[in-house]
Chains A and B, each alone.
Chain A
Amino acid sequence: MNNMDYTKGYWNPYVAGIALGLVLTFTFYVMGTGLGASGAVARTAAVVAHTVSPQAIENQAYFKEFYREGASHPLFDWTVIEVIGVFVGGLISVILSRRFSVGIGRGPTAGVGLRLFMAFFGGVIAGVGTRFAMGCTSGQALSGGATMVVGSWVFMMAVFATAFGAAYFVRKEWS
């Protein structure tokens, strides 16, 4: 049996969920749109590539949408600013809860090398997925889900069905 001490000390999941739902309601009330995350990473990817070759990125088939004529800097964007808030909000909570600790989340028998390789590899795959879906768990599953968007529900079902199925094959990483 796993030692599950790391699951302790957090809010009751229903309380956390309702709190998150109220933040999301407020966001829709103000913005008409929900919360996001992956868009900020996409813009960061564009800006990093832009430092290497500005011309190529401004004309690149996908990245050019972040460099339209007369548009502000790609990082001067609602979702990017919101994600900076997510980082600071997470940091405040971690500090107030005295939970900050440098470490690697992995299963009790999984090696550090395996876990970090999988974190990178999974990140690459997830990054590709967010672009096809035009969003992630925040923008599509949660925000689109709450507003009953067809494509978001398709996305959410596909995410969970795939992850439950694939979990068997990576169980050593998490067990």
Chain B
Amino acid sequence: MGPLLYNGVISFETSLWLAFPIGLMFGFVLEKAGFGDSRNLTNIFYFRDMRVLRVMFSALVTAMIGLIVLSYAGLFDYNVLVEESLMKSYFWPQLVGGIIFGLGFVIGGYCPGTAIVGVASGKIDSIVFLIGMVFGIWVFAFGWPVWGWFYKSSDLGRLTLWQFFGTSRDLMALIILIMALAAFALAWLGEKWAPYDK
């Protein structure tokens, strides 16, 4: 039963062998989605082509439902995920980090994973973006005296949306599914609107 690593079905060493093929599939799909080109990634912000929203939300919803289906099929222990391997939430750092990252995304034209695919596609701007990112991480590291106290502050622990809103996992997933479908409809309307291309 999954998660295989946490349930001791596979060792940490074996999981390292799986990192490469998993990354291979990830990179392949990102490229097929068009994410090796910064124009395809930033078009969403100009309502020209909302493919980033479509890919991202359909991927998110697929995995969200996929894990729930696997847990009902007895193949995946969702409790292990929630109690042991779920990422921890840090409210303020993640809000501020999201604002900073959003700026970097639209200005730089990539996010880290897609920039790697950009390099594979021969895009010079993606290499420059990644070099910039290395500098940015140095800025963060050496600015520690200024903001080190803020890093990992407002620790909420492993907290899911359904716990936060006091509802059930499956109802929360249904709400997110409906939100995603609404977002797909809005994306279509956004492309009709295309405010920057009039």
B160 near A150 with CB under 8 A, answer yes
**In the complex, A44→B133 CA distance in Å?**
10
A155 near B23 with CB under 8 A, answer no
**Dominant SS at the A interface?**
helix
Let me know if B185 is at the binding interface, CB within 8 A: no
Let me know if B182 is at the binding interface, CB within 8 A: no
Q: Mark A36-75, 1 if CB is under 8 A from B, else 0.
A: 0110111011101100000000001111000000000000
B89 near A151 with CB under 8 A, answer yes
**Which A62-118 residues have C-beta < 8 A from chain B?**
62-63, 78-79, 81-94, 97, 99-107, 115-116, 118
Which residues in B have their C-beta under 8 angstroms from that of A129? 97-104, 136
B103 near A163 with CB under 8 A, answer yes
A151 near B91 with CB under 8 A, answer yes
A161 near B102 with CB under 8 A, answer yes
Which of chain A's residues has its CB closest to B32's CB? Answer: A11
Which residues in B have their C-beta under 8 angstroms from that of A142? 56, 59-60, 63
Which of chain A's residues has its CB closest to B164's CB? Answer: A150
Which residues in A have their C-beta under 8 angstroms from that of B75? 29
Which residues in B have their C-beta under 8 angstroms from that of A23? 22, 25-26, 29
A137 near B112 with CB under 8 A, answer yes
Given the known A-B contacts A138-B113, A146-B67, A158-B98, are A17 and B57 also in contact in the complex, defined by CB atoms under 8 Å?
yes
Which of chain B's residues has its CB closest to A18's CB? Answer: B62
Which residues in B have their C-beta under 8 angstroms from that of A134? 87, 90, 93-94, 97, 152
**In the complex, A1→B196 CA distance in Å?**
10
Which residues in A have their C-beta under 8 angstroms from that of B40? 6-7, 10, 105
A132 near B20 with CB under 8 A, answer no
Q: State the A residues within 8 Å of B (CB).
A: 1-2, 4, 6-7, 10-11, 13-14, 16-35, 37-38, 40-42, 44-46, 48-49, 60-63, 78-79, 81-94, 97, 99-107, 115-116, 118-164, 166-167, 170-171, 173-175
Q: State the B residues within 8 Å of A (CB).
A: 2-6, 10, 15-16, 18-34, 36-40, 42-43, 45-46, 48-49, 51, 54-64, 66-67, 70, 75-76, 80-81, 84-91, 93-126, 128-142, 144-145, 147-148, 150-152, 156, 158-162, 164, 169, 172-173, 176, 196-197
Closest 5 CB pairs of A and B: A122-B108, A127-B136, A123-B132, A85-B23, A21-B62
